[in-house]
């Protein structure tokens, strides 16, 4: 069992066991909503010991800080860190922002941002919300070391989950069947066990006021469940007799001296008032722990189902309005998962939509439809005739202009032909008078 100081040196944190998903950005309203849900949950769900090592962008964690100066080593080197307090209504949120982070030897630029939120006023100051995001990219200064921030490989953590706030704060939750699952109680090999004089005289549950010689600090008793457990010193004359349920057992020296002393080997804190009930049974501690484990498992499954329903609702809300829902084909095992009525209704809606419309019209619709009007009723005949007459006039005018142009063109062609004929006639001169006369010699 590692000490708190050793766990702090190794960079371990107590964190909420559920996965909070990836978020590119968290507003103050989101942070406040996380805290409002985390505080009551932390009283019922034990936090687990673990590492936050080289987280991805968008990862979110809820952790418990045993002390304000608790070191959070996440495998990232942070050159710059700023602190500020932001009032949100009656509450005040402390924000510690670390910027320009990088993983030595892996990142080529410093771009990581870590914001740690804590309710300084109006909440539990030991719960912190850590969110990792991507910020402005800058070069890594050459004077910064490239050596890893922590030593690898990381040691395997075997610490038991622990309640951090509420009435069970400090109590550890061991898996069923482990040697410590009974809470220092009756199982073999437990500190104190049912050693000699376990329920005999000596006040309460043993001579040392605990559950064996020296209470829970008595270590492993060789007797375990031997003669001191169920024998004369256990449930025999010294157990349920005058020394057990009498003045020495459950009387004035019983409960105050029973479990009221500090338990150095147990939970690290005294448990005032003893066991809270007279003579818990031999297996009551083990049975209670098994019930707690079952309740914890049921709670985890319920939370997973709730998160799954929320994701499905968000996906349905994000689908476009006009997009039809994808319908899975018929499957043989549908009847094993849903009721017959639901299956019948789904198949009816899926396969008989057209018949539903037919039945609706036949039963409730208009059986005899009114005669539809002429498709030409939207036109005015008089207006159409006026437009046709005007168009006919335009056509006649255009035809007349065409005839005039044709006649003018023909007249021009005739005139041109006459001029050409006259020119050819005037140019036809006899060449006989121009021939040279030959004089005979």
Q: Do 93 and 213 have their domain in common?
A: no
Residue 169 lies in a domain: no
Q: How far apart are CA 185 and CA 279, in angstroms?
A: 12
Find residue 93's DSSP bridge partners.
Answer: 86, 119
Q: 150-169: b or e for each residue (b if 16 or more CB lie within 10 Å)?
A: eeeeeeeeeebbbbbbeeee
Q: Do 90 and 198 have their domain in common?
A: no
Of 171, 133, 164, nearest in space to 17 by CA: 164
Averaged over 150-172, what is the pLDDT?
A: 88
Residue 98 lies in a domain: yes
> What's the domain range around 223?
182-229
Share of the chain above pLDDT 90, in %: 29
- Choose one of 229, 247, 265: the last residue of a domain: 229
Averaged over 96-122, what is the pLDDT?
A: 91
Residue 148 lies in a domain: no
Least confident piece of the model among 131-140, 223-232, 283-292, 312-321: 223-232
Q: Do 111 and 28 have their domain in common?
A: yes
The answer, yes or no, to whether residue 342 has pLDDT greater than 50, is yes
Determine the pLDDT at residue 181. 53
- Choose one of 138, 173, 208: the last residue of a domain: 138
Domain count, the chain: 2
Determine the pLDDT at residue 122. 85
Determine the pLDDT at residue 355. 75
Determine the pLDDT at residue 169. 87
Determine the pLDDT at residue 275. 39
- Choose one of 169, 198, 229: the last residue of a domain: 229
Q: Do 28 and 134 have their domain in common?
A: yes
Determine the pLDDT at residue 146. 81
Q: Report whether 16 contacts 38 (CB < 8 A).
A: yes
Q: Do 13 and 126 have their domain in common?
A: yes
Find residue 51's DSSP bridge partners.
Answer: 12
Work out the angle at residue 223's Cα, subtended by the Cα atoms of residues 220 and 226, and round it to the nearest 5 degrees.
Answer: 140
Q: SS3 letters for the chain?
A: CCCHHHHHHHCEEEECCCCCCECCCCCHHHHHHHHHHHHHHHCCCCEEEEECCCCCCCEEEEEECCCCCCCCCCCCECCEEEEEEEEECCEEEEEEEEEEEECCCCCCCEEEEEEEEEEEECCCCCEEEEEEEEEEEECCCCCCCCCCCCCCCCCCCCCCCECCCCCCCCCECCCCCCCCCCCCCCCCCCECCCCCCCCCCCCCCCCCCCCCCCHHHHCECCCCCCHHHHCCCCCCCCCCCCCCCCCCCCCCCCHHHHCCCCCCCCCCCCCCCCCCCCCCCCCHHHHHHHHHHHHHHHHHHHHHHHHHHHHHHHHHHHCCCCCCCCCCCCCCCHHHHCCHHHHHHHHHHHHCHHHHHHHHHHHHCCCCCCCCCCCCCCCCHHHHHHHHHHHHHHHHHHHHHHHHHHHHHHHHHHHHHHHHHHHHHHCCCCCHHHCCCCCCC
Between residues 411 and 211, the one the model is more confident about:
411
Residue 432 lies in a domain: no
Considering just the CA atoms, what is the radius of gyration of the chain in Å? 49
Residue keyed to tokens 């039945």? 359
Determine the pLDDT at residue 414. 93
Averaged over 251-270, what is the pLDDT?
A: 38
Q: List pLDDT tens digits, range 343-379.
A: 888 887 777 777 777 777 766 656 666 777 788 888 8
pLDDT band at 84 (very low <50, low <70, confident <90, very high): very high
Q: Report whether 40 contacts 164 (CB < 8 A).
A: no
pTM value is 0.43
Determine the pLDDT at residue 93. 92
Share of the chain above pLDDT 70, in %: 63
Between residues 364 and 302, the one the model is more confident about:
302
| Cβ-based neighbours of 391, under 8 Å, separated by 6 or more | none
Residue 260 lies in a domain: no
Determine the pLDDT at residue 123. 85
Residue keyed to tokens 């044709």? 406
Residue 150 lies in a domain: no
**What is the residue-averaged pLDDT of the chain?**
72
| Cβ-based neighbours of 30, under 8 Å, separated by 6 or more | 23
Q: 268-296: b or e for each residue (b if 16 or more CB lie within 10 Å)?
A: eeebeebbeeebbebeebbeebeebbeeb
Q: Do 187 and 132 have their domain in common?
A: no
Q: Do 123 and 31 have their domain in common?
A: yes
Least confident piece of the model among 252-261, 305-314, 394-403, 424-433: 252-261
Q: How far apart are CA 277 and CA 152, in angstroms?
A: 49
Q: Do 34 and 92 have their domain in common?
A: yes
Q: List pLDDT tens digits, range 385-441.
A: 999 999 999 999 999 999 999 999 999 999 999 998 888 887 655 555 555 555 554
Q: Do 69 and 186 have their domain in common?
A: no
Residue 374 lies in a domain: no
Residue 9 lies in a domain: yes
Q: List pLDDT tens digits, range 51-80.
A: 999 999 999 999 998 777 777 889 999 988
Between residues 23 and 11, the one the model is more confident about:
23
Determine the pLDDT at residue 56. 92
Q: Do 134 and 59 have their domain in common?
A: yes
Q: Do 107 and 195 have their domain in common?
A: no
Q: Do 97 and 22 have their domain in common?
A: yes
């Amino acid at each position: 069992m590692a000490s708190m100081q050793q766990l702090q040196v190794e960079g371990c944190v107590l964190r909420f066991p559920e996965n909070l998903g990836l978020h590119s950005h968290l507003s103050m309203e989101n942070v406040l909503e996380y805290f409002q849900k985390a505080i009551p949950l932390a009283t019922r769900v034990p936090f687990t010991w673990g590492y936050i090592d080289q987280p991805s962008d968008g990862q979110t964690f809820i952790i418990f800080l045993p002390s304000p100066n608790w070191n959070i080593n996440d495998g990232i080197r942070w050159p710059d860190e700023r602190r500020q307090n932001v009032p949100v209504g009656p509450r005040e949120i402390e924000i510690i922002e670390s910027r320009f982070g990088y993983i030595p030897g892996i990142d080529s630029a410093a771009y990581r941002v870590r914001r740690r939120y804590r309710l300084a006023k109006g909440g539990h100051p030991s719960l912190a919300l850590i969110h990792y995001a991507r910020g402005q990219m800058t070069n890594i200064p050459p004077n910064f070391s490239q050596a890893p921030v922590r030593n690898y490989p990381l040691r395997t953590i075997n610490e038991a989950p622990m309640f951090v706030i509420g009435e069970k704060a400090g109590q550890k939750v061991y898996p069923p069947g482990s040697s410590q699952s009974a809470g220092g109680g009756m199982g073999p090999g437990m500190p104190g066990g049912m050693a000699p004089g376990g329920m005999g005289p000596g006040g309460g549950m043993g001579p040392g006021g605990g559950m064996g010689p020296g209470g829970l600090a008595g270590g492993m008793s060789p007797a375990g469940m031997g003669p001191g457990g169920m024998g004369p010193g256990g449930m025999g004359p010294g157990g349920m007799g005058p020394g057990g349920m009498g003045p020495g057992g459950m009387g004035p020296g019983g409960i105050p001296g029973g479990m009221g002393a500090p338990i150095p080997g147990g939970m690290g804190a005294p448990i005032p008032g003893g066991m809270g009930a007279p003579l818990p049974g031999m297996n009551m501690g083990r049975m209670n722990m098994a019930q707690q484990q079952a309740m914890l498992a049921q709670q985890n499954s319920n939370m997973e189902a709730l998160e799954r329903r929320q994701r499905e609702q968000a996906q349905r809300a994000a689908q476009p309005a006009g997009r039809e829902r994808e319908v899975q084909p018929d499957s043989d095992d549908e009847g094993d998962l849903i009721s017959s009525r639901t299956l019948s209704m789904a198949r009816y809606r899926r396969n008989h939509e057209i018949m539903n419309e037919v039945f609706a019209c036949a039963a409730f619709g208009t059986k005899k439809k009114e005669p539809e009007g002429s498709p030409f009723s939207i036109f005015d005949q008089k207006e159409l005739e006026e437009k046709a007459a005007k168009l006919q006039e335009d056509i006649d005018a255009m035809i007349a202009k065409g005839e005039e142009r044709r006649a003018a063109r023909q007249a021009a062609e005739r005139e041109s032909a006459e001029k050409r004929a006259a020119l050819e006639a005037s140019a036809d001169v006899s060449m006989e008078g121009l021939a040279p006369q030959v004089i005979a010699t």
